[in-house]
């Protein structure tokens, strides 16, 4: 069901012309900073992949991919990507990317089952990135270092935006706070996962929640993750399960937590087999991606996605993602947004 957050006393700080200029400024600057921080090279990515190879991202496992038949392939089906989590790892192997380096790309997706609101659209655009790592890098310490590098690039981009547009003032804290989802549960046992995220983000301003995908001590997951890309089951040096997480900020325009990135150390063979068993998805072992991983044809890696429209929305202080990107919205939402001073593209 579509729903709309009504921000208090909202007024767009930039008109539509300056907004478009700001979008280009952010995208050009941030992706170069990201590439420099993580030693990434740009590659060209697909909009769709063949069905049945196990390459498409399954997200929470319930979202339906957009599919279509290909005439010249005997009507075999292709799927519009949800994200490129597994495709990127295949590309690291095929391009023979050396350890300590990686790739990034512009990922464009259609998520037809998305519930539309200020943050969620049918159209998803991300910087998808992936880097080759050593076995010794599969640690929380390494994960935190990468998160801090990404957050530093975000803050540098915020500084540029504020220097360019006098009406926009910085709000991101200097440092990002780390917390495991199990600790978050213990801190706020009577809250839902979303309420916990709101509480911790309001307290610290920017947070990386570690360990998303596996069940916590209450028998529930903080949030869902597919079993075949992020490693959410390996017990790390801090004694908790999970080598992945989300970058979240407190967004004062909407007075709520706001996810900018989902990322993590990827599964090795042991974690893949364990997570497929946990989720009852052992049949996936036969798929193309999974066979290449199980046959030691793919490198160990870390990777994630960073929302392009989301980052632009936050740094330009917009109240609706439709002020940043062109998509389809219910006519009632368009009308309501116009009345609230946030016209959708």
| Active site (catalytic) residues | 57, 111, 126, 246, 259, 262
φ and ψ of 123, to 5 deg: -100, 125
Is residue 104 within 8 A of residue 153, CB to CB? The reply is no
CA–CA distance, 146 with 16 (Å, rounded to integer): 34
Q: Given 3-state DSSP classes, what are the helix, strand and coil percentages for the chain, each rounded to the nearest 5?
A: 35, 20, 40
Q: How far is CA 56 from CA 50, 133, 148, 229, 291, in A?
A: 8, 22, 28, 11, 15
Residue 306 Rama label (left phi>0; alpha psi -120 to 50; beta): beta
3-state secondary structure of 336: helix
Distance, C-alpha 124 to centroid of its chain: 10
Is residue 206 within 8 A of residue 176, CB to CB? The reply is yes
Torsion sign (Cα): 144, 231, 30, 134: positive
Pairing of strands 177-180, 206-210: parallel
- The C-alpha angle with vertex 177 and arms to 176 and 183, in degrees rounded to 5, equals 155
Task: Strand 48-50: give its sheet, edge to edge.
Answer: 48-50, 76-80, 67-70
């Amino acid at each position: 069901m579509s729903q709309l957050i009504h921000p208090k006393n909202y007024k767009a700080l930039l008109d539509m012309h300056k907004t478009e200029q700001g979008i280009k400024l952010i995208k050009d600057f941030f992706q170069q900073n990201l590439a420099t921080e993580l030693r990434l090279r740009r590659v060209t990515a697909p909009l769709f992949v063949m069905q049945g190879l196990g390459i498409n991202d399954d997200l929470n496992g319930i979202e339906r991919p957009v599919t279509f038949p290909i005439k010249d392939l005997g009507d075999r089906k292709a799927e519009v990507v949800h994200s490129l989590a597994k495709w990127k790892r295949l590309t690291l192997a095929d391009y023979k990317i050396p350890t300590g380096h990686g790739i990034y790309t512009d990922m464009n997706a259609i998520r037809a089952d998305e519930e539309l609101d200020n943050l969620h659209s049918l159209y998803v655009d991300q910087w998808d990135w992936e880097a080759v790592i050593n076995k010794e890098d599969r640690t929380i310490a390494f994960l935190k270092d990468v998160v801090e590098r990404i957050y530093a690039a975000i803050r540098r981009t915020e500084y540029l935006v504020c220097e360019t547009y006098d009406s926009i003032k910085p709000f991101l804290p200097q440092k990002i706070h780390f917390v495991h989802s199990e600790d978050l549960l213990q801190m706020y046992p009577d809250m839902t996962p979303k309420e916990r995220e709101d509480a911790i983000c309001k307290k610290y301003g920017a947070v990386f929640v570690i360990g998303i995908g596996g069940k916590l001590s209450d028998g529930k997951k903080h949030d869902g993750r597919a079993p075949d890309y992020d490693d959410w089951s390996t017990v790390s040096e801090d004694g908790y399960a999970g080598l992945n997480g989300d970058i979240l900020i407190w967004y004062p325009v909407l007075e709520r937590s706001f996810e900018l990135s989902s990322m993590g150390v990827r599964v090795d063979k042991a974690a893949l087999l364990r997570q497929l068993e946990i989720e009852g998805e052992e049949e996936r072992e036969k798929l193309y991606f999974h066979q290449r991983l199980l046959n030691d044809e793919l490198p160990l890696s870390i990777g994630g996605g960073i929302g392009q429209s989301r980052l632009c929305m936050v740094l330009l202080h917009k109240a609706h993602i439709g002020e940043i990107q062109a998509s389809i919205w219910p006519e009632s939402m368009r009308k309501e947004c116009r009345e609230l001073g946030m016209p959708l593209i």
